[in-house]
Amino acid sequence: MGSVQRGGNLYSYADIMIACAWPLGHLASAELAASDEPAIAIGLLDAPPSEPAKTDWVHHWPPKCGGLCLALSGKGERFLLRFPGLADFLISKDGRQIEAWPASSTSIETLHHLLLDQVLPRVLAQQGRLVLHAGAVRVGDQAIAFVGDSGSGKSTLTASFHAAGYSLLCDDGLVLTHGAGVTLALATYPSLRLWPESIASLYSGEPTVAPMAHYSSKRRIILKDIALNGTVPLPMVSFYVLAGEPAAEGAGISLRRLSPRAACMEIIGNSFQLDVTDRRRSAEVLANASRIAEHLPVFSVAYPRDFTRLPEVHEAILRQLSE
């Protein structure tokens, strides 16, 4: 692809502009000044990428709770990020160029999901940003966020706040920056993806939905009540780590503040990364996570995974915020 080109469809993603060779309906359109150029250019490969040698693969992410399997090759001038059976993405080492080779069976919805929710967050991380697997909502003029393993109920809890009237920021892509004692949160883009049973239980009226990916029954909710013209960073007031095991039926809602050390490890464990063998990037993630954990309250939250108990979870979290 050479240098970043001005052509294609222009969109906002977090606080950057991207150019894509095909339409991305889930992102807000953007316009660049004559002297500007997009931060990232995205295109399609004309042929499948060359197969790396076995020794060139540097990392594999095993699937968790039905999640995706990923693999990374880092030899040469570009990374190869592979979603086996779905798509390959060639990524320049500076993160400014992305080229996709989807499998013949991969739907356009799946390609968009992989690009927006898996590839671009890792590219931002490789460029030095701290990007969390996190859902977030706005409470007043501040943000709160939820993190947890796949299947822990993070998106459901985020959506339950949205259904209760709190503005949604995102369900799985949050950029954090820290300075002058304040942590700022910025969504990569407004998104909400839920299982059908969660949609039926959380929303009184059936929302408009679309497929998320051809391999999953999750649905992407069309967010008509959210302005898709970009967002501004909000001060992060606290975030919540969902316990891996739900509380027993009939148990109360538990909120326990984590130590800065434990909070730091949760931030690192829930962050996106591309080249996990890059020691300099890993040191930056550790430094950023440590600074945030020293100033930001982080809580472990446990509750029964019962939709009827979610208002109690809201009450406990909002009560903690008021204190």
Name the token pair of 207: 């929302």
Q: Where are the alpha helices (DSSP H) in 148-275?
A: 154-163, 196-202, 260-269
Q: Say if residues 27 and 189 touch (Cβ distance below 8 Å).
A: yes
User: What angle, 0 to 180 degrees and rounded to 10, lies between the N-to-C axes of helices 279-295 and 260-269?
Assistant: 130
Distance separating the N- and C-terminal Cα atoms of the chain: 53
316 pLDDT above the threshold of 90 = yes
Q: Say if residues 239 and 147 touch (Cβ distance below 8 Å).
A: yes
Q: Check the CA dihedral 114-117-122-123 and report its sign.
A: positive
pLDDT on residue 150: 80
| Those residues with Cβ within 8 angstroms of residue 159's Cβ, 6 or more apart along the chain or in another chain | 135, 168, 171, 192, 194, 198, 202, 221
pTM summary value: 0.91
5 pLDDT above the threshold of 70 = no
Residue 79: strand, helix, or coil: strand
Higher pLDDT, residue 207 or 185: 185
Average pLDDT in the 75-90 region? Answer: 90
| pLDDT tens, position by position, 288-297 | 999 999 999 9
Q: Which amino acid type is present at position 170? A: C
**How does DSSP assign 85-145, residue by residue?**
TTEEEEEETTS-EEEEEE-TT--HHHHHHHIIIIIHHHHHHHTT-EEES-EEEEETTEEEE
Name the token pair of 179: 């300075």
